[in-house]
Homo-oligomer: A and B are copies of this chain.
Amino acid sequence: MRADTTERVTDKFLRGRGRQRLSEDELTLLDQTVDRVRDLPSRHTLVRAGDRVRTSTLLLDGFMCRYMDDHSGYRQLVAIHVPGDFVDLHAFPMERLDHDVATLSPARIASWTHDTLEEIVETRPHLTRMLWFSTLLDASVHREWIFRMGRLDAEGRIAHFMCELKVRLDMVGMVENDRFLLPLKQADVAEACGLTGVHVNRVLRSLRERELMIFRAGQVTIVNWKQLSALGQFNPAYLRGGL
């Protein structure tokens, strides 16, 4: 499909989030030290909670998520990832993860061994700091999710979730005319927002009927950004890392 086999794997990394602070040299280093690039099928688990992890993964194409299971086997998504995101860079300092990492759609990923990252930390303070920064952006998003779950009702949560995805996808050039592909089931949205699938269905209908947004057939159309972002109390500052 894409004719970009020569595209650098770091092409989307930190786009719109301080990428300009990465030197050409640093990007090249990352590109040249990639261990592996590969494709994963949809709904494939890449890392399981508790596993010892020896590589870290950058998402090049597709959607991934991180989640935790409760006692009854229900999932709670704790993060969703779009192209350009390091999905488990935190595994480098942590060694083990407290959650699973999986694809939501077919995905293309690049990975670096932790030995390579070790060497970067030893020799490249500025690049190290940018990698650190990128894991902290994830933490900002986590905090916003806590806010979303703690203070917003079902409509607000879904509105906020969609607003976040719109801005994040926009940063990597994946939104056109307020429209973007989102290969998620309603049940996935429910798992991300702490709701049941049934209720997500009802809220989506309401948002559609009130002409705020449409989510259908794996595609989102933002119809009324102003009202939607107000409903979700959405302020995109947290996605940019305050730079």
Q: Which residues of A contact B (CB under 8 A)?
A: 50, 66, 68, 70-71, 74, 76, 78-79, 90, 93-99, 121-122, 125, 128-129, 132-133, 135-136, 138-140, 142-147, 149-152, 191, 193-194, 233, 237-238, 241-243
Contact = CB atoms under 8 A, between A and B. Distances in A.
Contact of A146 (B78, B129, B152, B241): B78
Contact of A139 (B96, B135, B233): B135
Contacts of A140: 94, 98
A97 B128 CA distance: 20
5 contacts: A70-B151, A76-B147, A95-B243, A98-B140, A149-B149
Contact of A90 (B94, B125, B139): B139
Contacts of A68: 143-144, 147
5 shortest interchain CB distances as A-B pairs = A96-B242, A150-B194, A149-B149, A142-B142, A93-B133
- Most chain B CB atoms below 10 A, which of A133, A147, A241: A147
A132 to B, nearest CB: 5
- Most chain B CB atoms below 10 A, which of A71, A129, A133, A136: A136
A53 to B, nearest CB: 9
Contacts of A152: 70
